[in-house]
Each structure stands twice: as C-alpha cells, then as structure tokens.
C-alpha cells in the first residue's frame, strides 16, 4: 500500500471540500445510486463493479476527490487500497483509503461536482476528516522543514516509511486516524467502527478491491454475459476463478470466466467443466446440458482470453476427484 498526498491550498479547500469530502466536521457521503448518470465515460462493467464494492466495503457511502490531469504521472501508480491525504495548507484535513480510481478521466463527474472539468482523475475514497500538522508529517518522515508541495501531488517513498517510527503504512494511517480524527457532535467517526482492528480493515479493503479489479478485468475482456447461458444482468454475473482462490488460483484475468450466479455455483460444484483442448463443455453424465440450463456447449470464442492451463488444471481436478466441491 502506498501513501499519496496532495496540497490543495486554503481557498480551494474551502471551495471544493464541502462538495465532495465534507465540511464542519461532517463527512460528505456519496452512493453509486444517483451518481451513475454522471459517469458516461465509464463502462458498465466498471460501474457494476463499483456497486458491488460499495456494498461490501463502503455501505455508508464514500467521498470523492478529483485530481488535475497534471497529477497523472504520480497517480498512475495509485491502486485500490492505497491512501490519499489531502493537505489544506499547513495541516492535513482528510485521509482516505482508495476504494477505486476511475479507469479513464471523467470530465462529466468533475463538472457535476465542482462545476468545472479540471479534476478528471477521480478517486472514490473511504476516510476521515483529520487535523494533522504538515510540519509534524515532515518531521516524522525526515522531509526538509522548508519543503513546499505547492499544489502538487506526491507519494511517500517506502524507505521513508520503513525508516519512520511507524514502520509501515497501515500503522501510520491507523495512528493518525486515531489521534487526529476530527470528531463532531452526535455522530461517531467512521473510523470508530474499525478502531481496534484498523490494519486488518485496511488489508480487507485491499483484498476486496483486488477481487473487484479481477471482476472488472474479466468482465471487460469477455463481455458482460454468462459464458454458457447468455444471462447478462451485471448484478447477477460473477467473475469465476477457474483455478479457485482456495487452491491459490491467481487474479490473472485469464484465470477468470464470466458466469451467472447459477452457473458459477454449478461450475464450482463440478457439475460441468471445459475440455482444455476443444474448449467444449463437459457434463458429468447425471445431468444433461439442458438440465443444467447450458445453452452454449463450447466457449471457443474465449480461446485466447481464458488460459488453457487454467481449464486443464480444473479438468484435471475434476477427473481426479470424480467431481469436486470447493
Ligand atoms: Zn449462466
């Protein structure tokens, strides 16, 4: 996990933060429902992915921050599960964990939130308002007291983190959230929900967002429909691991197959598999293709998208076990 930080400036913070982060100690909360129409640049698969992510790790909503195009070089390395700290002027006013960075610039959402298209690199975050001195940050990480960030975005090098008293990113973020959270009347800070197990929570977000990237990669490469029955409502589609996570199957999209929830279950239970040479569907003999609701008896169209060694690993397990249950 990496830590990114951006200098905003007092005036811009006062103008922009209330619209997307929060103000007066209260977080702004966005939900995917209602936001969708401002994301015409974003593919359906990515949006359905975002909805699932929201359900899993941000059911109380999320914050949104937009970075100018000029920050692209620095934030191209930003991945889900990383952290973004926003520096108002002499103090950090917000820290959030990256739930998702939109895969392409979204001029429409920038315009909707901030009334201008200048912040198209858009990041969905779950975080907390904080009040943490810039000078203390510089001190903690051995950065020169005279260093001026001036509107730019930067990331904290691994060496600075490991050499600091915190030792790792998660410890540092947990520490500033606990010590410097801005509490406000009557409303518990979100952070309190996972105070005791903050670093565990951070890892969970990292893992979940990794899985959601897998889903989004697989759906965008294979198309958003079940490989064997054409069911195409995104909410009912899964990116199934051909070699499952339980057997240390990877998140390489070539180890994935788009299946509807029903066929995912039947596939995992070993009621059918794929011949790794012909890419034909093989059923176990008790039930027919029709019984299983399988419309396509082959996935040849996915020949160069799904890796044959994943299918052959799967078929091998099936043959060895005479059907298997994960
Ligand atoms: Zn299906």
Residue that terminates a domain, selected from 206, 235, 252:
206
Mean pLDDT of the chain: 89
DSSP state of 62: B
Q: Is residue 80 part of a domain?
A: yes
Phi, psi values for residue 209, rounded to 5°: -70, -30
In the structure, what pLDDT confidence band is assigned to residue 191 with cuts at 50, 70 and 90? low
pTM score, whole prediction: 0.78
Distance from the alpha carbon of residue 5 to the mean position of ligand 1, in angstroms: 44
Least confident piece of the model among 1-10, 35-44, 195-204, 253-262: 195-204
Question: What pLDDT was estimated at residue 325?
Answer: 45
**Which residues is 148 bridged to in the sheet?**
none
pLDDT of residue 326: 41
How remote is the CA of residue 207 from the centroid of ligand 1, in Å? 26
Last residue within a domain, chosen from 172, 206, 240: 206
Q: Which residues of 21-50 are buried (b: 16+ CB within 10 A; e: fewer)?
A: bbeeeebbebebeebeebbebbeebbbbbb
Percent of the chain topping pLDDT 70: 93
For tokens 């510089």, the residue is: 138
Contact assessment for residue 78 and residue 2, using Cβ atoms and an 8 Å cutoff: yes
Domain range holding 286?
Answer: 223-321
Mean pLDDT of the region 94-115: 94
In a domain, 104, yes or no: yes
Handedness of CA 45, 46, 49, 51 (dihedral sign): negative
Which pLDDT belongs to residue 117?
A: 92
C-alpha 249 – ligand 1 centre gap (Å): 22
**Are 48 and 187 contained in the same domain?**
yes
In this structure, are 282 and 142 located in the same domain?
Answer: no
List the shell of residues around ion ligand 1, using CB closer than 5 Å: 226, 229, 231, 260, 263
Residues 112 and 188 in one domain: yes
Residue 186 has pLDDT above 60, yes or no: no
Residues 185 and 258 in one domain: no
- The CA 281 to ligand 1 mean position distance, Å, reads 13
Distance 271 CA to ligand 1 centre (A): 13
Centre of ligand 1 to C-alpha 37, Å, is: 28
Label each residue of 63-116 as H, E or C. EEEEECHHHHHHHCCCCCCCEEEEECCCEEEEEEEEEEECCCCCHHHHHHHHCC
| Residue range 282-290: mean pLDDT, rounded | 87
**Spacing, Cα 42 to ligand 1 middle (Å):** 25
Tens-place pLDDT, residues 22-39: 998 889 999 998 899 999
Q: Both 235 and 194 in a single domain?
A: no
- For residue 253, being part of any structural domain is answered with yes
Q: Give the residue-averaged pLDDT of 145-159.
A: 92
Whether residues 190 and 232 share a domain: the answer is no
- End-to-end Cα separation, the chain, in angstroms: 30
Q: What is the pLDDT of residue 112?
A: 95
Q: Are 134 and 67 within one domain?
A: yes
**314 C-alpha to center of ligand 1: Å?**
18
Residue 300 has pLDDT above 90, yes or no: yes
The verdict on 192 and 267 lying in the same domain is: no
Instruction: Tell me, in angstroms, the distance from the centre of ligand 1 to residue 294's CA.
Output: 7
Of residues 136 and 55, more confidence is placed in 136
Residue 266 CA to ligand 1 centre (angstroms): 9
Distance 267 CA to ligand 1 centre (A): 10
Which residue in this structure is represented by tokens 């059923």?
A: 283
Cα distance between residue 260 and residue 36, in whole Å: 23
Asked whether residue 188 falls in the same domain as residue 258, the answer is: no
Query: Do 232 and 193 sit in the same domain of this protein?
Result: no
| Residue 193 scores a pLDDT above 60 | no
Q: Is residue 215 part of a domain?
A: no
- Residues 272, 284 contacting (CB under 8 angstroms): yes
- Whether residue 105 is contained in a domain is answered as yes
The reply to whether 217 falls in a domain is no
Please indicate whether residue 46 or residue 140 has the higher confidence score (pLDDT): 140
Residues 287 and 181 reside in one and the same domain? no
Q: How far is the CA of 189 from the centre of ligand 1 (A)?
A: 42
For residues 187 and 288, state if they share a domain.
no
For residue 125, the CA-to-ligand 1 centroid distance in Å is 33
Asked if residue 326 is part of any domain, the answer here is no
The region of weakest confidence among 4-18, 147-161, 206-220 is 206-220
* Domain final residue pick, 160, 175, 206: 206
Distance 209 CA to ligand 1 centre (A): 24
3-state secondary structure of 166: coil
Q: What is the pLDDT of residues 211-232, one digit of tens each?
A: 888 998 899 899 999 999 999 9
| 100: nearest Cα among 17, 198, 181, 216 | 216
Going from the Cα of 224 to the center of ligand 1, the distance in angstroms, rounded, reads: 11
What dihedral do alpha carbons 30, 32, 33, 35 form, nearest 10°? 80
How many structural domains comprise the chain? 2
Is residue 49 situated within a structural domain?
Answer: yes
* Stretch 288-298: mean pLDDT: 95
């Amino acid at each position: 996990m990496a830590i990114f930080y951006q200098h905003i400036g007092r005036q811009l913070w006062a103008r922009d933060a209330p619209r997307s982060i929060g103000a007066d100690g209260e977080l702004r909360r966005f939900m995917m429902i209602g936001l969708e129409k401002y994301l015409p640049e974003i593919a359906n698969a990515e949006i359905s992915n975002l909805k699932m992510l929201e359900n899993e790790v941000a059911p109380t909503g999320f914050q949104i921050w937009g970075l100018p195009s000029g920050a692209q070089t620095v934030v191209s390395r930003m991945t889900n599960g990383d952290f973004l700290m926003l520096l108002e002027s002499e103090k950090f006013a917000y820290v959030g964990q990256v739930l998702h960075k939109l895969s392409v610039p979204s001029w429409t959402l920038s315009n909707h939130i901030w009334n201008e298209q200048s912040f198209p690199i858009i990041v969905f975050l779950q975080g907390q308002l904080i009040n943490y001195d810039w000078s203390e940050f510089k001190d903690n990480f051995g950065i020169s007291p005279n260093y001026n960030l001036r509107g730019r975005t930067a990331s904290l090098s691994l060496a600075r983190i490991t050499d600091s008293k915190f030792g790792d990113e998660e410890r540092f973020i947990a520490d500033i959230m606990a010590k410097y959270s801005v509490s406000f009347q009557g409303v518990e800070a979100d952070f309190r929900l996972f105070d005791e197990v903050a670093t565990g929570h951070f890892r969970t977000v990292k893992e979940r967002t990794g899985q959601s990237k897998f889903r989004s990669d697989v759906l965008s490469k294979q198309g958003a429909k079940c490989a064997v029955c054409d069911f195409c409502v995104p909410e009912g589609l899964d990116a199934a691991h051909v070699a499952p996570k339980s057997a240390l199957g990877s998140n390489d999209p070539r180890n994935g197959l788009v299946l509807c929830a029903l066929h995912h279950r039947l596939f995992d239970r070993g009621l059918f598999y794929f011949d790794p040479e012909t890419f034909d569907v093989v059923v176990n003999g008790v039930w027919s293709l029709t019984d299983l609701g399988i419309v396509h008896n082959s996935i040849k169209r996915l020949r160069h998208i799904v890796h044959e060694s994943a299918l052959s690993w799967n078929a091998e397990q099936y043959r060895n076990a005479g059907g298997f249950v994960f």
